Amino acid sequence: MGIDESFRGLRLLDQLAFGETAVHRLDPRAKVLVTLIYVVTVISFGKYDLSALIPFFIFPAVMISVGKLPAGFVTRKILLLSPFVLMVGIFNPIFDRETLVRIGPIGISGGWISCTSIVVRTMLTLGAALILVGVTGLPAICSALEKMGMPRVLAVQILFLYRYLFVLAEESGRVSKAREMRSFGRRGLGMQTFSSLVGHLLLRTWQRAERVHMAMLARGFNGEFHTRKEFDFGLRDLLFLFGWTALFISLRFWNLSQFLGDLLTGIFS
């Protein structure tokens, strides 16, 4: 069931790219550049600049709303990586114990702030990548990267890797379901059976990949992928690119959260 659930998640992310919203109709190069600038801007902050990252949630919120993406689905995919991110930052409070912020009698060390900053930056960058795939599709992203200078061989390899994930997930689901149907209680679910299952899975996916490749060659595949529709970089794409870039640069050098906090403090003090 876990494999089937993951497979449905991949399928849903792939199907979201067939939408007809204003964001879907933009040139993929504009969306790739905006996402790249967003990611670079987010990761450029210092480890203690937590409050400055909060306004950057505007970009994923707007893209999800305009692109009509399921916010719950995107959030669940981000949360799947949360344990791994916490493992990276959980040692920060141990080594960085200097108190940087005080909320009444409670002191918050720099380690907790930097740990939270790592989690927030991961959420923002991973969310931006998922949204990009959801409103563009990987074939269009690879085509945009190729037009922007990426070697075609590398772009095709990335697309093949993504497509064969579906082949692997489908074969994994079939093999896992067959094993469960032939098991009685806990018999047939041990490590020895699992090792044999992995070996057969690799052989099955290899054979399936060869059949897929032969079918592609029979249909005239020459190393070039074609997207569902052709795009032209126009005025709206330029406005999209420069509008978001200007906002990201402004938020990078101007702490909006601190400004609003000082403003509210001045009003109510």
Of residues 162 and 239, the one with the higher pLDDT is 239
Q: What is the pLDDT of residues 187-227, one digit of tens each?
A: 656 566 667 777 777 777 778 778 877 888 888 777 666 66
Under the banding of pLDDT at 50, 70 and 90, the label for residue 3 is low
Rounded-to-integer distance, Cα 46 and Cα 110, Å: 12
Rounded-to-integer distance, Cα 41 and Cα 58, Å: 14
Say which range, 91-95, 175-179, 251-255, has the weakest mean pLDDT.
175-179
Decide: residue 30, CB within 10 A, 0-12 exposed, 13-18 middle, 19+ buried.
buried
For 53, residues 6+ apart whose C-beta sits below 8 A from its C-beta are 42, 45, 117, 120, 121, 124
Question: What's the rounded mean pLDDT across residues 52-64?
Answer: 92
Place of tokens 């005239």: 220
Where is mean pLDDT largest: 113-122, 173-182, 215-224, 242-251? 242-251
How confident is the model at residue 61, as a pLDDT?
A: 93
User: What percentage of the chain carries pLDDT values higher than 70?
Assistant: 86
| Confidence check: pLDDT of 28 > 80 | yes
Question: What's the rounded mean pLDDT across residues 68-81?
Answer: 84
How confident is the model at residue 201, as a pLDDT?
A: 75
Rounded-to-integer distance, Cα 189 and Cα 258, Å: 55
Say which range, 62-71, 95-104, 151-160, has the weakest mean pLDDT.
95-104
Residue 32: name the closest of 115, 149, 111 by CA.
Answer: 149
Under the banding of pLDDT at 50, 70 and 90, the label for residue 56 is very high
How confident is the model at residue 189, as a pLDDT?
A: 61
For 142, residues 6+ apart whose C-beta sits below 8 A from its C-beta are 155, 156, 158, 159, 225
How confident is the model at residue 35, as a pLDDT?
A: 94
How confident is the model at residue 240, as a pLDDT?
A: 93
| Consecutive H or E run containing 243 | helix 235-253
